[in-house]
Structure formats: C-alpha cells, structure tokens
Amino acid sequence: MYTKGIGRTILVVDDDALILQCVRRILEQASYVVLTSQSGDDALDIIERGDARVDLMVTDIVMPGSIDGFTLAAKIRQGEAKLPVLFITGTLSEDDPYVASLTRKKLLLRKPFSPRQLVEFIDWHFAGNFLEGPAH
C-alpha cells in the first residue's frame, strides 16, 4: 500500500474544476489529504484562517481574478514563509526566464501531466528536496 502522503496536507489551487477534481483524486490515492480552491483569493483565505495545517501548496500560475499563482505565492510567503509553493501551468512559455528558472529548480510541473508525474513531483519535494524559489 502507498503511504508516503499519510499525514500531509496539500492545498491545490486551479480555476479549472475538472483539473482540481483529477488532481485531488490522484493525490488522495497517494494518501495525501487534499484541500482545493478555484481562486487565489479563496486559497489565501484558507491559509490565513488557519483552519487546517497545510504542508504544501500547488497552484496554477494563470488564473482569473486579482490573484494569480505568482501573486498568491508572494502573499503566502509574506505570512507563512515556511509553506512551500509549487506551480503548475499549461499556458506560459518555456521562453519566459522566470518560468525556465522554476522548471530548472523543479518547482514547476507543466500541464498536461500524468498521475505518475504529479505524484513523483510532490513526493520528490516531500523527500527533503525543497529548493528555495524566488517569490515573484
């Protein structure tokens, strides 16, 4: 039985409800506790309320509204500096220097990704491989 995720909570933020549902299912099968949010504003509220201990946030970069993934990460780091933030995207160009930097540091997973790629991406970071990424 897969047990690496037991006791760890991940907040997944994406404006696409189907992606949220799929990612939740994949990570729950990997024994993670998963919270979801369809907006940066809602995700920030979840963190600030402190109703649940969150060990990691995975956020889409491009989202509608006032808070995109980069802004959300910067706001989270202002108050919860120890909360690791990983990014997912399917729209930003590899030519963008910041996106390329995140990819090199293994802080970004490109969509579409397989269930295995997602779990390996998360597990790698929980195995002690968190790298300090710049707050955009």
Q: Tell me the pTM.
A: 0.88
Q: Is 51 exposed, middle or buried (0-12, 13-18, 19+ CB in 10 A)?
A: exposed
pLDDT for 86 equals 96
Length of the chain: 136
Cα–Cα dist 58/43, whole Å: 10
Residuewise pLDDT in 10s, the chain (136 residues):
455 677 899 999 999 999 999 999 999 999 999 999 999 999 999 998 988 889 999 999 999 888 999 999 999 888 766 789 999 998 877 788 888 889 888 999 999 999 999 999 999 988 876 544 433 3
CA atoms of 94 and 97, how far apart (whole Å): 8
Is residue 111 within 8 Å of 90, Cβ to Cβ? yes
Rounded CA-CA distance 52/121 in Å is: 23
pLDDT of residue 50: 87
Q: What is the pLDDT of residue 12?
A: 98
Can you list the domains of the chain with their CATH numbers? 9-126 (3.40.50.2300)
